[in-house]
Amino acid sequence: MTQPTLGRFWRQAAAIAAIPVAGSILLTGCSSGSSAGSGANGGPVTLKIAVQTQTNETKPYSTIVDEFNKQSDDIKVELTEYPNEQYAQTIKTQLQAGNAPDLIYGSPGTGNPNSLGLYAQAGQLVDLSGEDWAAAAVPDSAKNIYYVDNQLVGVPLDVAPIPSIINETAYQELGLEPATTFADVLKQCKTVRDAGKNSLITLSGTTPPNTGIMALQLAATRVYAQDPDWNTKRTDGKVSFADTQGWKDTLQAILDLKTNECFQDGAEGGTFDTLFNEVSSGKSLSFFGPGGSAADLASINPNAEFGTAAFPGKSASDEFVFASPTNALGINAASKNVDAAKTFLKFWEQKDQLNKFASLTGNVSLASVQSGEAVSNERYSRIEEYLTDPKKNAPLANLFWPNGDVYTALGVGVQGLLTGQASIDQVLQSMDSAWG
């Protein structure tokens, strides 16, 4: 596995699944300049933009930045990257110190450490609701996580489906198609083992982002397909994790997968490396993760085909996927270059740039989702009907949660389920406690 490939996975997983952050780096000089069109010395305005990455692999972002810089004479953009584990705390420190970049990368809502909603609540982001192009960029299903007190805190850059990542070639070798019911999943687990494969599903049991993503995918059909307003009800105190049968069924399904040997042996000790090594080689058939990971697998093993599938619920009619506009950019309220920053974001929201960015991230173009056009990426052909039907998809549930601790409680709780150190009731109670 190449490090850049793993870096992309970590970056997407961080944005989507709330990887906990630690440490603090104080960096200076990240916000300077004057109004759009003229810098302090009469030259072009210089905008600073910061993104998170694991291994200095910023091609999707640098490509758009480079294209803008070629076309713009009076505004230039400089891209800086910070490691995933440092990014959120670094930006928080810079915002407090008054030297944060002009453009701030993050996820919408309030459920992640790098959530733009948290910065907006602190008055640290520019309200973009008065910009027609910005308001038009937000899908209807995501408005609740992009607006804070009627203020638009940022704009999405693409849409990241969160399906099952599958080795199409390995499925074909065994004469299988992705299951359409959970009962069929359990049957396939035995079929795959009997055929000499390591597992139907590979799990990174040591990392809460992966165990958490698995739980959310199972909850998609058991909770949110049945009750799309569940998060709102939880906010209003009308429901709880511990008292919701769908959440109990979600965690029971994880135990059923374990009991039926659907995971690789020693899944509790699995890592992100395990995911890529197992599925790229065809030793295992699938894992839970960001849809762009299918492109990463293809770069590792160009001799196999990789794609995505919706993980089934109890019946075929239950299928539902999370598709999240989680890569987002907001404007620092303390920036001296707000007009220039708006110009840059408006450029990024053009159809050609959105399509280009999505092709590089391996995600789905925001332009396609907004217009209802066919999804051009063949790796999403199995789930295209879900991506283009607003009744069959929604942004990741945890983006609507009030803080990152709830998702952490889920991911860590699933680890406890796998090792026998936690019960279903204990995990759900810990999530309710974290919510409060």
CATH number, position 52: 3.40.190.10
Domain match, 165 and 181 both? yes
Strand order in the sheet with 103-106: 75-83, 45-53, 103-106, 328-331, 155-156
d(CA 161, CA 72): 33
Q: How many other CB atoms sit within 10 Å of the CB of residue 412? A: 16
Grade residue 425 by pLDDT with cuts at 50, 70 and 90: very high
- Give the chain's mean pLDDT: 87
**Domain assignment of residue 229, yes or no:** yes
In a domain, 430, yes or no: yes
Q: How confident is the model at residue 64 (pLDDT cuts 50, 70, 90)?
A: very high
Q: What is the mean pLDDT of residues 102-129?
A: 92
| pLDDT recorded at residue 59 | 84
The reply to whether 213 and 167 lie within a common domain is yes
pLDDT at residue 8, as a whole number = 45
pLDDT of residue 11: 43
Q: Is the pLDDT of residue 15 over 70?
A: no
Beta strands in 140-225 (DSSP E): 147-148, 151-152, 155-156, 160-162, 164-167, 199-202
The label of the residue with tokens 């065994």 reads: 174
Instruction: Say how many domains are in the chain.
Output: 2
pLDDT of residue 288: 94
My answer on whether 97 and 71 are in the same domain is yes
Regarding whether 340 and 399 lie in a shared domain, the answer is no
What is residue 378's predicted lDDT score, i.e. its pLDDT? 85
| Residue-range definition of the domain harbouring residue 44 | 3-159+325-363
Examine the domain organization and report whether 228 and 198 are in the same domain: yes
Would you say residue 283 lies in a domain? yes
Q: Are residues 12 and 153 in the same domain?
A: yes
Do 202 and 276 lie in a common domain? yes
Residue 274 lies in a domain: yes
Q: What is the pTM of this model?
A: 0.80
Q: Are residues 214 and 149 in the same domain?
A: no
Closest CA to 397 of 190, 247, 176: 247
Q: Is there a single domain that holds both residue 188 and residue 278?
A: yes
Asked if residue 420 is part of any domain, the answer here is yes
Decide: 180 and 354 in contact? Cβ < 8 Å: no
Same domain, 283 and 414: yes
φ/ψ of 279, rounded to 5, equals: -80, -35
Give per-residue pLDDT as tens, 306-316.
999 999 998 88
